[in-house]
Amino acid sequence: MKIDDLIKETSEWLKGTGPDSDIVISSRIRLARNIGGLHFVDWSDDETKQKVVDVTKRAILASNYMKDALYVEMDKIPVVDRQFLMERHLISREHAIDPEFKTTFVGDKEIISIMVNEEDHLRLQVIESGFLLDEAWHIMEGLEKDLEQRLNFAFSDEWGYLTACPTNAGSGLRASAMVHLPAIVITRQVDGLIHAISKLGLTVRGFFGEGTEATGNFFQISNQVTLGRREEDVIDSLKRVIRQVIAQEKTARAFLKDKRKDIIEDRISRARATLEAAHIITSKEAIGLFSLVRLGIDLGLIKNIDTKKLNELFVFIQPAHLQKLEGKKLSTVERDIKRTELIRNKLKIS
Amino acid sequence: MKIDDLIKETSEWLKGTGPDSDIVISSRIRLARNIGGLHFVDWSDDETKQKVVDVTKRAILASNYMKDALYVEMDKIPVVDRQFLMERHLISREHAIDPEFKTTFVGDKEIISIMVNEEDHLRLQVIESGFLLDEAWHIMEGLEKDLEQRLNFAFSDEWGYLTACPTNAGSGLRASAMVHLPAIVITRQVDGLIHAISKLGLTVRGFFGEGTEATGNFFQISNQVTLGRREEDVIDSLKRVIRQVIAQEKTARAFLKDKRKDIIEDRISRARATLEAAHIITSKEAIGLFSLVRLGIDLGLIKNIDTKKLNELFVFIQPAHLQKLEGKKLSTVERDIKRTELIRNKLKIS
C-alpha cells in the first residue's frame, strides 16, 4: 500500500456508520508501549532509535493484523504527506513535525495505525466509526497480544507497562470518542457539560486532539489517568459518560426541533446555502457549517445530501488533502478557493 | 387616492431609474414654509393649528401639482399607516409619532409630498429616482410658486423665508441625495469620506434620515445651512460633491472587480444565497445583504435578478409594509419570518 492509495478511500472512522453515529463520530483506543531494555525515545541516541525502528518493523509487518500495511519512514516522505496522515488522524502533530527516526504503519481501512518513536517506542491506535469502544478495544487487545509475542514490552510489576509520561503508565490506555454536539452548543449547555465531564476525570478536547479548540461542535472526550485501573474499567466509565452525553444531545435536539424550529431551520438552511455559495472559505468556517448541515440531516430537515460525502469533506477540505487532490502546492488563498469547489462538488444535490 | 393604493405601486424614487442610478438612489429637495401672521407650530394653540390645517388643505388641493393627491389627517389613520408613510420616506418620524393637527398630502407617483404642522407649517418634498437634483428643484420651484399664489408665506427682507429652526431660514431649502457606496465601505474609505464631506458643510446620515445609522452602505448626503445662500448655489455645491462621490465609488468598484474579484464574488454570492435561504431575517440584516446583491448586479456578477424588484424590497420588508401586505398585525418574530417569504418571492430567478 502507498500513501497515495489512502486518498482514494475514506477512513473507516469517517464513514458515518456504526451505533449512534448521528452523535458519536468515532471511537478510538490508543495504547502506549515501550521495548524493554531500550531507553525511552527522549533519552535515546540515534543508534537506539534506529534499533527501535528495525525491531518494530520486523514485528509489526509479521503480524496478521498488519499484513499489507502501509509502512512509512517519516523522514522519507514530503511534508505534505506527513500533514496528510495527520489530517486523517493516523498520526499526531508531533509525529509529523519532527520526522527523524519515526515510522508509521497503517492497516486495512485505516482502522489500525501505529506510530514508532513518537513519545513512546510504540503508539498503537484503533479507530472505529460510531460508538464502538468495545469493538475497538477488542481489536486492540488482539493486536497487542500478537505484538507482545514478537516484542519484549517494558513492564514492571509495580507500575504495569512503563511509558515515557507517567500519566500513561499502567495500562498505557487512552480511550476516546469524538462526539458531535451541535444542539448542546446551540442551547448553551456546553460549558456546564465540559465542567461536569472534567470532574469525572475525563478530558474534553477539540477536533484535532490535544491543544486544539473545539471546531464545529465536535469534541473528543477521553480518559485522563490510566495508572492502577483495569482497561475494561477505563472503557466502561468512558462509555457511561458518552451514553449520558448522547442522551443530553438527543434531548437538546428534540427541544430545538419542537420548540425552536424556525431558528434551527434558519441556521441550517443558511449554513447549507453558504457552503454552496462561497467562493472563499477557511477549514474552520467550513467545519462549522458542515456541523449545522449534519444536524439538518440528523433532524430530517435536509434530505438530499449524502452523509458519507459530507463526512468525507471534514477531512478532504484540510490543506494537505486539498493539495494532494490537486497534485500541487497551493497557497492559503488558493486553498480557500479550491475548498469551495470541492464542497460544491460533493454536496451537489443527489 | 387612498393609502392602501400606494402599496400597489413602487414609489418613483425607488424605481432605480434616472442618471447614475447605480450609485445615486434618489435626489430629494425639501422646502420649509410658514403661513404669515400665524405662530410657528411649537408656539401655536389648537385653534391656530386647525387653522393651518384648513388653510393649507384648500390651497394644496386646489393646486394643479396636487390634483387627486392623497390627503390624510394623521390622527384619523392607524399607527401602521403612519409608519407605512414613514417607511416610504413620505413623512418624517416626528410626523408619524405625534399625529394631532398634522396632515399629509401625497401627489402622483409619490414624487411630491407635503407635511402640515410638522416642525414648520409646511414641509414640501420632491423626490426623484437617480441623480436628478435639478429636475427635483425645478418641480419644487413650480410647486412653491403655485402655492405662494394661494398662501401668504412668512417672509422677512432680512432673513428670507422664516422657519421654526434658524438653520432652515432663508431659502428653507434642504437638498439631499441618497447614495449607495458599498465599494467605498468595503475598501474602508468611508470614514475619510464622511469627514471630508462634513468639512464642506454637508451632512451624511443613514438610510432613514436624521439620527439613524448608515444601514447597508446607504448614505444620505445633504446641505446643512441655507441662510444667505441662493437655492441654485446650494444645489450646485451638493451636485459637485455627489459627482466626486460617484467617481470615488466607481474607482473603488473597479478596484474590487479587477484586484479583489474572489473576495467580492464570495461576499456577493454569500449574500444572495443567505437571502434565498434564510427563514428568519431582520430588516437591518436584509438591507445589508440587498446592498451586496445590488453591487453584484452593478458589477455584472449577478444577472438574473430584477433591479426594480430588489429596490422595492428595501421598502416592502419594513414592518408596516409587511403588516399591510399581510393585512394584519404581526409580532417581531412573525415579521422576521414573513420577510424571508417576501424576499424569496421577489428574488425568484426570473
ipTM: 0.81
Mean pLDDT of all residues belonging to chain B: 91
Q: What is the mean pLDDT of residues A275-282?
A: 95
pLDDT above 70: residue A207: no
Residue A214 has pLDDT above 60, yes or no: no
| Burial tier of A213 (Cβ tally within 10 Å: 0-12, 13-18, 19+) | exposed
Residues on chain A touching B276 (C-beta within 8 angstroms) = 273
pLDDT at A213: 53
Distance of residue A267 Cα from the nearest chain B Cα, in angstroms: 8
Question: Which pLDDT belongs to residue B350?
Answer: 46
Residue type, B308: K
Q: What is the pLDDT of residue B31?
A: 94
Overall pTM > 0.90? no
Q: Please list the residue range(s) of chain A that carry CATH number 3.30.590.10.
A: 3-253
Task: Measure in Å the smallest separation between the Cα of B333 and chain A Cα atoms.
Answer: 10
Contact B278 A269 (CB under 8 A): yes
Whether B187 shows a pLDDT value over 70: the answer reads yes
Q: How far off is chain B from A339, nearest CA to CA, in Å?
A: 13
* In the predicted structure, residue B179 carries a pLDDT above the cut 80: yes
Choice among A184-188, B13-17, B176-180, B283-287 with the minimum mean pLDDT: B13-17
Q: Is the pLDDT higher at B32 or at A211? A: B32
Q: Is B272 within 8 Å of A269 when comparing Cβ atoms?
A: no
C-alpha–C-alpha distance, residues B257 and A149, integer Å: 67
Is residue A179's pLDDT more than 90? yes
Grid coordinates of A6: 489512502
More confident residue, B278 or A347: B278
CATH 3.30.590.10 applies to domain A3-253: yes
Q: What is the mean pLDDT of residues A97-117?
A: 95
Model confidence at B267: pLDDT above 50: yes
Whether the predicted pLDDT of B52 surpasses 90: yes
| DSSP class per residue in A95-133 | HHH--TT-EEEE-GGGSEEEEESSSSSEEEEEEEESS-H
Separation CA A159–CA A155 (nearest Å): 7
Identify the residue among B256, B260, B269, B302 best suited for mutation to test binding to A, counting A beta carbons within 10 A and taking the highest.
B269
Burial A167-191 (b: 16+ CB within 10 A, else e): ebbbbbbbbbbbbbbbbbbbbebbe
Contacts of B277 in chain A (CB under 8 A): 269-270, 272-274
- Mean pLDDT (whole number) for B158-179: 85
| pLDDT tens-place string over residues A13-53 | 888 888 999 999 999 999 999 999 898 888 889 999 999 99
Chain B residues within an 8 Å CB radius of A277 = 269-270, 272-274
Mean pLDDT for B18-42 is 92
From the list B265, B327, B333, the residue with the least C-alpha distance to B300 is: B265
Is residue A208 a contact partner of residue A283, using CB atoms and an 8 Å limit?
no
Retrieve residue A43's grid coordinates. Answer: 533519552
Which of B256, B260, B280 has the most A C-beta neighbours within 10 Å, making it the best mutation to test the interface with A?
Answer: B280
| Whether residue A242 has pLDDT greater than 80 | yes
Asked if residue A212 has pLDDT above 70, the reply is: no
Please say if the pLDDT value at position A263 is more than 70. Answer: yes
CB contact (8 A) between residue B273 and residue A277: yes
Hey, of A261, A265, A266, A331, which one would you mutate to test binding to chain B, going by the most B CBs within 10 A of its CB?
A266
pLDDT-derived band at B159, boundaries 50, 70, 90: confident
Mean pLDDT, chain A, rounded, equals 91
What is the grid cell recorded at B138?
425645478
Q: Which residue of A has its CA nearest to B262?
A: A279
The helix/strand/coil state of B74 is helix
Residues of B in contact with A337 (CB under 8 A): 262
Query: Among residues B331, B327, B306, which one has the least CA distance to residue B84?
Result: B327
Residue B279 is nearest to which of A262, A276, A333, comparing CB atoms? Answer: A262
Q: How many CB atoms lie within 10 A of CB B20?
A: 18
Least confident of B73-87, B166-180, B308-322: B166-180
Contact A30, A128 (CB under 8 A): no
**Model confidence band, residue A350 (pLDDT cutoffs 50, 70, 90):** very low
Burial grade of A258 (CB within 10 A; 0-12, 13-18, 19 or more): exposed
Q: Note the pLDDT tens digit of each residue in B98-139.
A: 999 999 999 999 999 999 999 999 999 999 999 999 999 999
Residue B214 banded pLDDT, cuts 50, 70, 90 = low
- Residue A44: other Cβ atoms inside 10 A: 17
Question: CA-CA distance, A97 to A78, in Å (whole number)?
Answer: 11
Is the model's pLDDT at B209 over the cut of 70?
A: no
Contact A221, A176 (CB under 8 A): yes
Closest approach of B293 to chain A, Cα-based (Å):
13
pLDDT (average), residues B301-307: 88
Structure letter (DSSP) for residue B170: B
What's the pLDDT at B213? 53
Angle (nearest 5°) at CA B224 between B205 and B39 = 110
How far apart CA B87 and CA B321 sit, in angstroms, is 8
Exposed, middle or buried, A128 (CB in 10 Å: 0-12/13-18/19+)?
buried
| Pair A103, A73: CB distance under 8 Å | yes
Which tops the pLDDT comparison, A236 or B1? A236
Contact B180, B291 (CB under 8 A): yes
State the smallest CA–CA distance between residue A89 and chain B in angstroms: 31
Confidence of residue B226 (pLDDT cuts 50, 70, 90): low
> Residue B349's pLDDT band (boundaries 50, 70, 90)?
low
Residue B308 has pLDDT above 70, yes or no: yes
pLDDT score of B261 more than 60: yes
Residue A7 reports pLDDT greater than 90:
no
CB contact under 8 A, B277 and A262: no
- Determine whether the interchain pair A266/B278 forms a contact, defined as Cβ–Cβ distance below 8 Å: yes
Chain B positions contacting chain A at CB under 8 Å are 262-263, 265-266, 269-270, 272-274, 276-280, 333, 337
